[in-house]
Chain A
Amino acid sequence: MVGASEIAIGLAIAGSGVFGHLAPGLHLAAAAALVVKEVALNRR
């Protein structure tokens, strides 16, 4: 789960660089994936 959410964060950040007009939504998606990652890390 940690690895998958990290991949999601990376794709969202890279996507915000490629598609600048979608950056606000992609940053929110990255933040959501970060929440998932932190929850998974704290459940270890």
Chain B
Amino acid sequence: MNVRPASFFDYKPRERVPFKQHRDPMAELREENPLSSQAFEVAHMGTDITLDYAHHGVAGMAAGGAALGVAAVSACWGVARLRSSALPDKIDGIGHLALAGSSGMHALEHLGGVHLPGGPALEVVHGLATVGLGVSELIRARQEGPAGP
């Protein structure tokens, strides 16, 4: 069997299927690794907190660079999510694109001293998209009953 590593855009968007449902092993190979999304969320949160406290000097530049990395990954992720037909994935894609915009603005501010308007609005969009995902997760868990995840 010839299994080649997939590129970022080859990844199948996350499916919201019942936990105990039998799944095709090859489909699992094509899906994204859950560790990648967890690592990204931790990196995003760490960057946000660092940006709050590091404004000048080397720490500020490092935080700006990290924000630039978060923005780039988030933009790619958002575009990939928007290609899915599932509504939760589209909401996730919009949230990731908003995060890419706000992180890019933070990076510009810390690396180049450029202040652009609209950053707080993008943070609100990202937050509301995350709330939407949480609501859809709650609805899914309720539909699956106490045996579900």
A contact residues vs B (CB 8 Å cutoff):
2-18, 20, 23-24, 27-28, 30-31, 34, 38, 41, 44
Residues of B within 8 A of A8 (CB): 134
* 20 extra A-B contacts, CB within 8 A, seeds A3-B135, A30-B48: A2-B137, A2-B149, A3-B139, A3-B141, A5-B134, A6-B133, A10-B131, A10-B134, A11-B127, A11-B131, A13-B127, A14-B123, A14-B131, A18-B120, A20-B120, A24-B53, A27-B48, A30-B45, A34-B42, A44-B149
Closest Cβ neighbor of B149 among chain A residues: A44
Question: For chain A, what secondary structure do more than half of its interface residues adopt (helix, strand, loop), or is it mixed?
Answer: helix
Question: For chain B, what secondary structure do more than half of its interface residues adopt (helix, strand, loop), or is it mixed?
Answer: helix
